[in-house]
A and B are shown apart, each in its own frame.
Chain A
Amino acid sequence: MLTSRNSLKSRKELDAELGGAARAWLDEALAEAAHDAADATATPGAPRPGASPYASPPWELRYAAAGRHCGQENADSVRSLLLVESRASLPSVTRLYDQGTAAERRAVLLTLHLLDLGDTALPLIEDALRANDTRLVAAAVGPYAADHLDPHAWRHAVLKCLFTEVPVAAVARLGERAHGDAELARMLNDFAAERTAAGRPVPEDLRTVLALTAPAGEGDHPARPNAAPAAPAPTEES
């Protein structure tokens, strides 16, 4: 279930790849997360009685250290597994996101669609889409955003990718959501016109998305009339 388009590795894949010490660390971490999930069933995400207001469950500390124990290339996957195994609640993912480094935030964003959160975690996606850190923007436009962002916010997310040069290939279910979206097409055309007026190239990705906005049967003519200035403008991409 973790081998979807974001290519997070499954526990099986990690077990096959990791050395003995890393595997033992992962086993313990996942056991702690599972224990926390069982513990927290009654009061999800609640702090332990008598604990410092800043105290975190042990698995959350492991969440931060995942890359150092299992390799930085596996950090996203391990963090994601911990979130799934702990059945992380909204307070938990919010805390991990708020208190996380950029890499820790990214792992939260990449995992939201695997948790049973409905649309309650949207504020995290919205926060990431306000960021100028392109790693966060790219992680925010995954399956959870595709499932839950309203049309206005979703269109702005696509535009943000074009502005910040996050490849739109990062946008989950782009074709499906863009299909027949006349308002998105208008925004793209306006952006293209603005770029052209400034003598700047229109991003190639803009054309890609614009083509996807065409309603059925118009696939060969994606550009609406006012897109005309955009099409011939850039002779080369920067």
Chain B
Amino acid sequence: MRIFDPHIHMTSRTTDDYRAMYDAGVRALVEPSFWLGQPRTSPASFFDYFDALLGWEPFRASQYGIAHHCTLALNPKEANDPRCTPVLDALPRYLVKDSVVAVGEIGYDSMTPAEDHALAAQLQLAADHALPALVHTPHRDKLAGLHRTIDVIRESNLPPEFVLLDHLNETTVEAATDSGCWAGFSIYPDTKMDEDRMVTILQNHGTEKILVNSAADWGKSDPLKTRKVADAMLKAGFTEDDVDQVLWRNPVAFYGQSGRLQLDVLTPDPLHEGNSILRGGE
């Protein structure tokens, strides 16, 4: 079984997690930039974080045989902090990097005017860079937040098939799929969304344009939830091909729209991955 976790925050996880994920079948993942739990106080703090998502973290992943890509953005929460908003001006130079496969996570947290501005500006950045967008739907007032999100996407220059609406549940799946966007579900170890409810959603809505992720981070979360959904799908009578579609082909198709996915895992061998010191002379 091959698994692509389309939303997981590996900087918050240990190497044991990488090993367990590999053993469970995870071969590729996307790490969206997000809030770190502790508020940042300057753009420079974002830049160090973005650099880690483009440098150290892919190296760590490669040591465990997992292809690492990322999405970069000013997250919804910190879009409200004027000390952080200059990040928007610096994003263009980050969005040209090879392993950036989308703009994200963007979206609404509390639905403020500052969030309106950051969401619209970053949807435009995605359109300018021919990148998809990973759009987080708010945890509070979710359905209203989703409708407002879809309105902003409609007004943007980004086509809906370039948008992944994430953290959906039973109350928001309908509106999300009707919008033409891709639908993402984060499976948590608590009541937000679990693997059996996910299976029911797949039974009702089919396996097209649906992605499942662990959204694991520094909070209570489980980086093996993708595998647990796969097992629950098989147990409920879905075929191996259905599982492969939801847990591999769909994320590959969505993020593949960036033209930047490199799924052949590069070895961390210093003299083979790109480093060409030895290739000619000796």
Enumerate chain A interface residues (CB-CB to B < 8 A). 3-8, 52-54, 56, 60-61, 64-65, 67-68, 72, 75-76, 99, 101-106, 110, 132-135, 137-139, 142, 164, 166-167, 169-170
Contacts and interface: CB of A to CB of B under 8 A. Distances in A.
A8 B276 contact: yes
A125 B279 CA distance: 21
A134 B89 CA distance: 32
A103 B273 CA distance: 9
Interface string B82-108: 000010011011001111000000000
Contacts of A8: 276
B59 A133 contact: yes
16 contacts: A6-B276, A7-B278, A8-B276, A53-B89, A54-B92, A54-B93, A64-B93, A68-B98, A68-B260, A75-B274, A99-B47, A101-B99, A135-B275, A142-B277, A167-B271, A170-B275
A209 to B, nearest CB: 16
B113 interface: no
Given A101-B98, A133-B59, A167-B271, A76 B54 contact: no
Contacts, number: 103
Nearest to A133: B59
Contacts of A76: 274-276
A105 B55 contact: yes
A67 B277 contact: no
B280 A68 contact: no
A7 B99 contact: no
Contacts of B89: 52-54
A64 B270 contact: no
Interface residues of B, number: 33
Contacts of B271: 138, 166-167, 169-170
Contact of A7 (B92, B96, B281): B281
Contacts of B47: 99
B6 interface: no
Interface string B30-67: 00000000000000000100010011101100000000
**Chain B CB within 10 A, most for which of A5, A103, A110, A164:** A103
Given A5-B281, A133-B56, A170-B270, A64 B97 contact: yes
B276 A166 contact: no
A67 B259 CA distance: 12
Contacts of A68: 98, 259-260
A99 B56 contact: no
A134 B270 contact: yes
B275 A138 contact: yes
A56 B98 CA distance: 17
Interface in B236-282: 259-260, 262, 268-271, 273-282
